[in-house]
Structure formats: structure tokens, C-alpha cells
Chains A and B, each alone.
Chain A
Amino acid sequence: MTATGTRRLKVAPALPTIQAACHGPAGRGAGEGAPVVALAGAPNVGKSTLFNALTGLRATTGNWPGTTVDVGRGVWRFRAGDRVCACAHCEGTCAAHQPSEFTLVDLPGAYSLDPISPDEELTRALLVDAPAAERPDAVVVVVDAAHLARSLHLVCQLRESTHRVVVALTMTDVARQAGVEVDSHALAEAVGCPVVVVDPRRRTGLDNLTRFVRESLARPRPTARVVALASDDLAREDERFGWIEAAVDAGTTTSGAQRMSFSDRVDRVALHPVAGPLLFLAVMWLVFQITTTVAAPLQDALDGLFTGPVSDAVRAGLGLVGLGGTWVEGLLVDGLVAGVGMLLTFVPLMALMFVLLALLEDSGYLARAAVVSNKLMRSIGLPGKAFLPLIVGFGCNVPAISATRILGDARQRILTALLVPFTSCTARLTVYVMVGTIFFGRAAGTVVFVMYLLSILFVVGVGLALRATLWRTMGAEPLVLDLPPYQAPTLRLTASVTWTRLQGFLRTASGIIVVTVCAVWLLQSIPTQQGESFGSVPVEDSVYAAGARAVAPVFAPAGFDAWQTTSALVVGFVAKEAVISSWAQIYAVTEPAEGEDPGDLGAAIMGAFEESSGGHPLPAVWAFLIFLMAYTPCVATVAAQHREIGLRWTLFGIAVQLAVAWTAAVAVFQIGRLFW
């Protein structure tokens, strides 16, 4: 072979054997009679780097005949001066003594000889299925010292045959950094073949590797490792892993001081049964506190912008085209600008919260929070897997309902889909913040935090109630979480995740909320009494108010039966953001009370609660927030439930949500008004 550099081979289909391909007419290896050495190993262990280091530019890469798998072939040259064979009467003719080069075949990455990919199939074909005479003369297995157990599986399987095996141990520096020291001599003793430490990037250890391969070739093929007959796949693999465990134990020493990584040290607290949940709660409280505190001035500024200059500009523009004072002005100013504009004031708040959550996610902490939540779910007997859609539900209930598909059992899927609506999505967050700011000022962050805690309690409580009644026979399913190490958050990922979520919020505001605002405006424009015209009716006399008044008595025991509050909750069935736009619309078209600032939406809402609660506004507000958190999230969630669990269970879920929400709200108000 005279190739210099790498080129693609175009070869005819042939038997998948190393000897046939290397010593055939094409002559892509070393000279005739040179031993063939195969280089094997799992992907990403430094195999190709070692191949390049051993062959230099004397290599070619191409598809193996009859396959699409890339295989490299090259010439491994070395000085042949030293006699390494132990032949009693060698006259320089044995394979180990004579050659000054090997044909080196870089087999495709394979973790095991039980193939699950074309790469592994070819490796097996060349090393196991080929006739004995067609197999390579020796196999160098590249083993990653930092993932020793994983890499040794191939060694273990090869030792069950008569292959001459030499282990090339890479990544010892990485293993050392992780506190693992590999003793190559002890490891060689344990695995029953030579182990050579190499660093292909720095080209160290290559001479030793050459020497060990030559010595190995000078010896007869070893006897195969004796393996007891196994009853099934698991028993056979268990035996292999027992061998691997023994080899790892014998060949490695772990530094106690270094054993714990940074992630391990942090996880001792983050995953502690008591400290873990407390830390999680503290972190989430901090997120909500920072969000509400820092975003408040921006929110006020945007609110002033929409109620002031933007509304004035639209009015002025409509006046110029002769539409001032008409229903068009009502729709645009009192409807779209007031409703959608109020929702848009939450953009800074949502953006800030999304940034903070993205930072937590990117750092790896949210994965720990998932473990903490998982433990909670399991402690109350819910299936381990159920926590996954529930976690997604805190972002948005709609994909969370779809995520219940990961549950194999239909009963678990239904139960989880019924619990998802109790997870407090980000749409509800906007209402918590608005109401919390109006009634609790700077403690709004704590109010939001409490609402999330209550959301978790509702999930647990309703889950327990359903399990104790309808789901008594359902078993728990084991779930183990593989945690990623902590890392410094990256700007790109944080910005990407934040923008994606903010886009979702803006899409809702510009889509479904615009439609809802128009529908609400339409209902507010239709009079209930004769003598009033469309578009100029006071909202109190509109079809909208009449409908709300019909429903309002239901909420009297909960202390929030003002028709304005009731109507906002009814509109909230469409989407929770619509609660805010609905309030903004109602109070934008309502004449302010004497001495009240026309733009002071908070004062108007406060007044409604004060009146409906009979002087106990705070218990009524808590009752309202709890009802808002627990009742049906939005029509999109209902549609998703219908698709996933059918109409019957969806209606059952809505009934449960309304019953639980109403009962809890009434209980909170009735008990609360005794104290406040």
C-alpha cells in the first residue's frame, strides 16, 4: 500500500474478514505476511487518535466491503531490531520476530460484541463470526481509564475467546483528576492480558504498546476465559459484570479526599431528605421575590404607558378620522389597549422569571429539584414517573397533559392527567402577582411563593384522595434519576430558553387574549334594557354584567361574589391571562368612584373585594387566589385532556377541579374571616 493521506476506498463486496480484506489484491495493509492487528474499543475512548498516532499518514479510510461502515486501515511501522519471541529454535522467521510492520485495522467503535448497531455488527463479524484463520492475529482494545467499567466489557468478551488481547489504557489523566488511579500491572493481572498506558495525543506509551503487541504475537494464543453456563441473558451479563467489578476493584484506587466532585458536595445538601426540600423552597421564594421586586418599576412604567400616552394616541388618531366617541374607540381603547396592554405590562416580570428559571435549569439545579419532587411523590404512594408531567405542568399544563403518555399504565395516565391542572402554570402567575401587589404590596413575592406551595399541596392532597378511592390497586413504578453535573450557566442557552418561553407568553397575549378581549367587549356592548344602544351601554347594564350577576351568588360563601370578580373567573376558563384583561376592560369602561384615579385598577379591584366580603377583603382575596389556582386552567388544557383521557374523564376532572376549588375557597374565607 502506498497511499499517503486519507482517501475513500471503492471496493467490491467481499467476505467480512480482516485477513481477506488486508491481503487481497487491493493490498491495503502492510506487506505480505505481516501480522494483522485490530484496534477495537467503544466510541470516544481515543481509538482513532491512537490509530493516527500509530499509522501516521500511512492510512486509508473507507467503507468495509458490503457495508456502509467506515473502517480505517494502515501500516504500523516500528524498529524490528529486538528479538521478542520466545521460540526455542527461532531463526528469525516467526511472526513476532521478523516483521517491522503490522497491518493495523481500525474497527468501528463498539462497546460490545452483542451488536445493536451496524458498527458493532461489523466488529462482531470480524472478531467473532469470521473463521478462526481469518481473524486478526492480535486485538488492541482501547480502554478509557475514566470509564473503566464501561470499556472493560469488550475486553471481557474478547477474553472469552482465544484472541491475543492487549489493552491500551487512555485518559489516565482524566481519571486522575476524578480521583481514580489505575494500576496497570494490577489491572493486567486481573484481566489476564497486558495493559499499557498510552497517551495518543502526546504520543507517549506507543513504544511500550508495540513491544507488548510483539511479545503477545510471539506467544501462542491464550486459552479462553472459562465462563459458567448461564440460564439467560441477564445471568450471563451478570457474570461478565462480576468479572468487570473484580477487575475495577483490583486495578484502581480511589482517593477518598478527591472522590467527591463539586457536584457531589453540593448534592449532599441539595438532595438531603430535609435540607433538600428546604433549599428548594428557599430558592423558589428567592426567584419569586426577585421577580416581583425588580420587575415592579418596569411594570408600573409600562402600565403608565398603556393607560396614558398609548390610549391618548389611539383616541387622538380615531378623533382625526372621525371615529372619536364611537364603538370603535370603545373596542380599541377600552378593549384592546386596556386588556392586552395590561397583560403586556407583565412582559418584564415574565422575562425576569424565565431568565432566573433558565439559570437554575442551565446550572443543573432544577434537575435536583426534580429529584426532591420525585421523592415527595413517592413518599405519598404516587407512581414515580407521574412527577415528570407534573413538573412540566408548572410551566404549562397543555404539554404536561401530553407528557402523561410516558406512563405505560392507562390508570396512571388518567390519574396524572387529572392532577396536572392543579400544578400552577405561569399563566396563573400573572394573576397572583397582580392580586398580590394590590393587596400585599412588597410581600407579593411571598404570596406567589405560598400559591406554589399550595399548588403542590393540592396535587398531593387530590392525588391521595383519588388513590384512596378510585386508584386503590395501582402500584408504584420505580424511577431513578441520573443527574447531570453542575455547570456554569451559559448566556446562549439562558437567552434561548428565555426567549422561547417569552414568545409563548406573547403569542397567547396576541392570539387567544385578543379574541377573548373582543368577545368580552362585544358582550359588554350589548344592552340588556331597551333604550340603550350598542356600544354605548354602561357595562353594568350589559349582557356581560347580567351573565356574571347570574353566576355571582355561587361565590358568595367564598366572599368574592362581585359580578366583576365573577366575570373575570368565567373568562378565565378561556385562559388565565384573560382574568387580567377582563378586569382591565371592566374597570376601563366603569366610571371611577369619587376621588378615585380613573387609571387605578388596583383600587377598583380592592373596592370590589371589600364590598363583596363584607369587610373581610384579605380572606376573600386568599379564597379567590385559591379558587383561581385550583379550577380549570384553560380551554387548551381541557382539549388536551379530552384527547388524552377521553370525554368522560375530562368532565370528571372539571367537576373535581370546580368542587375542590370552591370547597377550599369557601373554607378559607369562612375560617379566615373569623380572624381577619
Chain B
Amino acid sequence: MSGPLSRVLDAFGAGASSLTEVGERTGLAADVVRASVEHLVRLGRIEAKALAAGCPAGGCGGCASGGPGGSPGCGAASPSSARTGPVLVALTLRR
């Protein structure tokens, strides 16, 4: 049987859409799933991006309204003000 990291990667590839689903597919405890994903991010196998509704994932630098040097062009103090709430993290397999 392959190790936890391989199982987590397999679950990603098989179409799991949340960490809960990864846990169900792999049979791993939630704590182990989370640690595995964090470690796969460290290894560069998974890419993690924090998302906040209303702001592009790249922050002001990735926004069409962004000013020079990545400053906010929309008048907001910064995208971080909208990121202090619950943040959804998108995890994708890195190619």
C-alpha cells in the first residue's frame, strides 16, 4: 500500500474536491490529511492559493484595476482587509 502522500495525491487526481473528501477517499485521519497536504505544498507538488471573494487571487498586482507597483486601484486600503475573514484555499496539483 502506498504512503499517505501518494494516497492524497491520488485522491486529488481522482477528483476529490475538498479535504473532507480526500480523507474519505484515502481513509486517513483529518489531521494526517491536513499535514500531508501542507507537506505536499512544501514539496512543491501542490500549489495553494488563498482566495477572497471580490479580489483576484493575485491581489492588487493581478487586478485590472491595480495601480503601479501593485497598489490597489479600486480605492480599497488593500486586498488584505477583505482577507481577514474565512479564507478559502484552492489546492491544485503542480505540473
B18-56 contacts to A, CB under 8 A, are: 18-22, 28-29, 31-32, 34-39, 42-43, 45, 48-49, 51, 53-56
B55-77 contacts to A, CB under 8 A, are: 55-58, 62-66, 74-77
Closest Cβ of chain B to A417, distance in Å, is: 11
Closest Cβ of chain B to A248, distance in Å, is: 6
Extra inter-chain contacts (17) besides given A241-B35, A357-B53, A487-B85, CB under 8 Å? A112-B39, A148-B31, A149-B34, A242-B3, A366-B53, A371-B17, A371-B18, A385-B92, A389-B56, A391-B53, A392-B53, A399-B56, A406-B49, A477-B92, A482-B48, A496-B81, A497-B85
Contacts of A401 in B (CB 8 A): 64
Can you list 24 A-B pairs with a CB-CB distance of less than 8 A?
A: A237-B3, A241-B32, A242-B3, A252-B29, A271-B18, A367-B86, A371-B18, A384-B92, A392-B53, A399-B56, A401-B64, A402-B56, A403-B57, A403-B62, A405-B58, A406-B56, A480-B16, A480-B92, A484-B86, A484-B87, A500-B76, A500-B82, A503-B75, A640-B64
Complex: A500 Cα to B3 Cα, angstroms: 46
- Please, which residue of chain A has its CB at the minimum distance from the CB of B19? A482
- Contact indicator per residue, chain A 473-507, by CB within 8 Å of chain B (1) or not (0): 00001111111111101100100110011011001
Closest Cβ of chain B to A494, distance in Å, is: 9
Asked if A48 lies at the interface with its beta carbon under 8 angstroms from chain B, I say no
Contacts of A374 in B (CB 8 A): 17
Contacts of A485 in B (CB 8 A): 86
Complex: A396 Cα to B64 Cα, angstroms: 11
- Contact indicator per residue, chain A 607-641, by CB within 8 Å of chain B (1) or not (0): 00000000000000000000000000000100110
Asked if A540 lies at the interface with its beta carbon under 8 angstroms from chain B, I say no
Complex: A406 Cα to B13 Cα, angstroms: 19
Asked if A518 lies at the interface with its beta carbon under 8 angstroms from chain B, I say no
Closest Cβ of chain B to A386, distance in Å, is: 11
On whether the beta carbons of B85 and A399 are closer than 8 Å, the reply is no
What bracket does the count of chain A residues touching chain B fall in? 35 or more
Complex: A384 Cα to B16 Cα, angstroms: 11
Complex: A400 Cα to B29 Cα, angstroms: 36
Asked if A7 lies at the interface with its beta carbon under 8 angstroms from chain B, I say no
Chain A CB within 10 Å, residue with most, of B63, B81, B89: B63
8 Å CB contact of B45 from A234, A267, A405? A234
Whether A241 touches B36, Cβ cut-off 8 Å, given contacts A248-B31, A249-B29, is yes
Contacts of B3 in A (CB 8 A): 235, 237-239, 241-242
Interface of A toward B, CB cutoff 8 Å: 111-112, 114, 116, 147-150, 153, 180, 233-235, 237-239, 241-242, 244-245, 248-249, 252, 254, 264, 267, 271, 357, 361-364, 366-367, 370-371, 374-375, 378, 384-385, 388-389, 391-392, 395-396, 398-403, 405-406, 408, 477-487, 489-490, 493, 496-497, 500-501, 503-504, 507, 636, 639-640, 643
On whether the beta carbons of A364 and B32 are closer than 8 Å, the reply is no
Closest Cβ of chain A to B30, distance in Å, is: 8
Whether A234 touches B86, Cβ cut-off 8 Å, given contacts A149-B29, A244-B32, A264-B20, is no
8 Å CB contact of A484 from B12, B38, B75, B88? B88
Complex: A504 Cα to B66 Cα, angstroms: 13
On whether the beta carbons of A402 and B53 are closer than 8 Å, the reply is no
| Pairs of residues from A and B, 3 with the lowest C-beta to C-beta distance, nearest first | A238-B3, A484-B86, A149-B35
Contacts of B91 in A (CB 8 A): 479-482
8 Å CB contact of A150 from B22, B34, B45, B90? B34
Contacts of A484 in B (CB 8 A): 86-88
- Please, which residue of chain B has its CB at the minimum distance from the CB of A383? B92
Complex: A399 Cα to B65 Cα, angstroms: 7
